[in-house]
Amino acid sequence: MLSLLRKEIGDFLSSLIGYLVMAVFLMAVGLFMWVFPIDMNVLNSGFANLDALFVLGPWVFLFLCPAVTMRLFAEENRTGTIELLLTKPLTDWQIILAKFLAGWFLTLITLIPTLVYYYSVYKLGAPEGNLDSGGTWGSYIGLLFLSGAYVAIGLFASSLTNNQIVSFILAVFLCFIVFIGFESVSAIFSIDILERMLRMLSINNHYLSMSRGVIDTRDILYFASLISVFLLFTKTRLESRKW
């Protein structure tokens, strides 16, 4: 499993897609945070916060995580190497976890350079350090879990097809539905219990909860369950090749 994990990470870092993902994410956040004359611009707003990163992050990852995962199984299916991979002394779970952890690792690498933004805002505060550190680190943890959910969804989408573009589009659609689709639909219903249930299924609801700086076990359990469900869907898809 570790050899496969190293191979997948190596493939990411030796190809353009890995660096492109990191560059697009950092550039998008940097422009909104420091350049564009909007309310989220730190210099214009006059407030020491990282709102641009944590508001835009989920939306940028909505496209970047599917871009990372679209090739993980789709390319294997297209070239036929999936059959060779399945004959190796690896269980389905080891293959799935190696590919999942490789994709998740890349998103973690993408987040690490944003600590420069945190340091910059920390130093710009008046007085220095006038920053909600609890909410900031809670938001970082929320982004990490959110990206893990996106990667799990993208991995499942990639296992359904041998076309990377189809995998990307399907993953973006599924991520959007789980991120904010359920929450948007919940506003239609007047039945309180149904509305609450749909909101609880939304990634955004739990992400915002963690962004307040309070790490609730219910939010962690939600993300762990969501990731597990889509990894299980992926395993079922792999097993279907043997039926």
- Decide if pLDDT at 20 tops 70: yes
d(CA 76, CA 82): 5
Q: How confident is the model at residue 47 (pLDDT cuts 50, 70, 90)?
A: low
**Of 5, 73, 99, 98, the residue nearest 241 (C-alpha):** 73
**pLDDT recorded at residue 44:** 66
- Decide if pLDDT at 190 tops 70: no
Q: Give tens-digit pLDDT for 218-228.
A: 889 999 999 99
Q: Which of 56 and 85 is assigned the larger pLDDT?
A: 56
Amino acid letter, residue 52: A
**pLDDT recorded at residue 186:** 66
Task: Give yes or no for a contact between 71 and 97, defined as CB atoms under 8 angstroms apart.
Answer: no
- Decide if pLDDT at 191 tops 70: no
Task: Give yes or no for a contact between 204 and 224, defined as CB atoms under 8 angstroms apart.
Answer: no
Q: What share of the chain is helix, strand, coil (3-state, %, to 5)?
A: 80, 0, 20
Provide Rg for the chain, Cα atoms.
19
Concatenating the DSSP letter of every residue in 212-238 gives TT---HHHHHHHHHHHHHHHHHHHHHH
d(CA 114, CA 91): 36
Task: Give yes or no for a contact between 171 and 157, defined as CB atoms under 8 angstroms apart.
Answer: yes
Q: How confident is the model at residue 109 (pLDDT cuts 50, 70, 90)?
A: confident
Task: Give yes or no for a contact between 54 and 135, defined as CB atoms under 8 angstroms apart.
Answer: no
- Can you give the residue range of the structural domain that contains 208? 2-242
How many structural domains are present in the chain? 1
Q: Which of 172 and 194 is assigned the larger pLDDT?
A: 172
pTM, full prediction: 0.89
For 40, the token pair is 């989220």
Helices (H), 80-132: 81-86, 92-111, 115-124
Most confident of 43-52, 58-67, 123-132, 178-187: 58-67
CA 104 and chain centroid, separation: 7
Mean pLDDT of 127-134: 69
Task: Give yes or no for a contact between 132 and 97, defined as CB atoms under 8 angstroms apart.
Answer: no
C-alpha distances out from residue 74 to 32, 93, 134, 151, 164, Å:
33, 17, 40, 14, 6
Q: Which of 199 and 195 is assigned the larger pLDDT?
A: 199
